[in-house]
Amino acid sequence: MTIKKICNYIYGMVLDFFYPPHCPICEKYIENRSEFLCIECSAKILAVEPLKIPKPLLKEIWRLTRYKEGTREILHDLKFNNSTKYLPAIKKILDKVIMSKPEILQLLKKIDVAVAVPLHTDREKERGYNQVELIFNEWLTNQNIAVEKLLLRTRATNHLYDKNADERKKELAGAFATVEGAEVKIKGKRILILDDIVTTGATMSECAEILKSSGASEIYGLALASDN
Ligand SMILES: [Zn+2]
């Protein structure tokens, strides 16, 4: 064992003693800090499925987990507490997807470029990051998918969670545009729109309209969680 390894080992023991690692979902103690989720939660968190929300411009919309089972706490922390402490747990979930869900590998094979639903500049500044990029960028780069900033939010929009489908559409109308010079990266490309949570698909649909009008050939959607 090298000195560095011994130091890390002792540091780990001290850390475990003062801050025993807990599963962010069920709060249960976890023996191996690097697992981030307990075995039970880890086994049941994935709910990989294509969503049955017909959106004419999107060929498929996939979700990886249900918003109700654990990812709610994790995403809430990332979005509203300005905290990235659960990011390793999210990465663990995404790695699990790659290892056990061939349907997502099939989806990724069809993609030329991925784009995160953008935040308004003010909100991104306030939060310090776009959580969708934090969730997906590294994971997709590791799968050899380019992630590009092709879209921007032209105005701040209100939260959508308390709005019905019509109100959502109204709230989002005209809220997105392409960034300067994005057209060449969009034209003829198969694009994957990324979001943290998908509910009615209104946000993805609005982004898809912009991408389609810039010449995207096929558009898909992928969300970490869906609440339906
Ligand atoms: Zn757990």
pLDDT tens-digit series, residues 79-113: 888 888 888 889 989 999 999 999 999 999 999 99
Q: What local confidence, expressed as pLDDT, does residue 69 receive?
A: 61
Residues 182, 72 share a domain: yes
Residues 94, 11 share a domain: no
- Low-confidence residues in the chain, pLDDT < 70: 1, 13, 15-18, 69
Q: What local confidence, expressed as pLDDT, does residue 65 receive?
A: 93
If DSSP codes are grouped into helix, strand and coil, which group holds residue 224?
strand
Q: Give me ligand 1 centre to Cα 219, in Å.
A: 35
Q: Give me ligand 1 centre to Cα 40, in Å.
A: 6
Cβ neighbours for 104, distance < 8 A, ≥ 6 positions apart: 48, 62, 64, 97, 98, 222
Residues 103, 9 share a domain: no
Residues 21, 69 share a domain: no
Q: What local confidence, expressed as pLDDT, does residue 35 receive?
A: 75
Handedness of CA 84, 85, 89, 92 (dihedral sign): positive
Q: What local confidence, expressed as pLDDT, does residue 103 receive?
A: 97
Q: What local confidence, expressed as pLDDT, does residue 187 receive?
A: 97
Residues 149, 37 share a domain: no
CATH number at residue 165: 3.40.50
Residues 182, 84 share a domain: yes
pTM confidence score: 0.88
Domain extent for 202:
45-226
Domain total in the chain: 2
Q: Which residues pair with 220 in a beta bridge?
A: 60, 192
Q: What local confidence, expressed as pLDDT, does residue 102 receive?
A: 96
Residues 86, 53 share a domain: yes
Q: Give me ligand 1 centre to Cα 21, in Å.
A: 11
Residues 89, 161 share a domain: yes
Q: Give me ligand 1 centre to Cα 38, in Å.
A: 4
Cα–Cα dist 209/58, whole Å: 9
Q: Give me ligand 1 centre to Cα 24, in Å.
A: 7
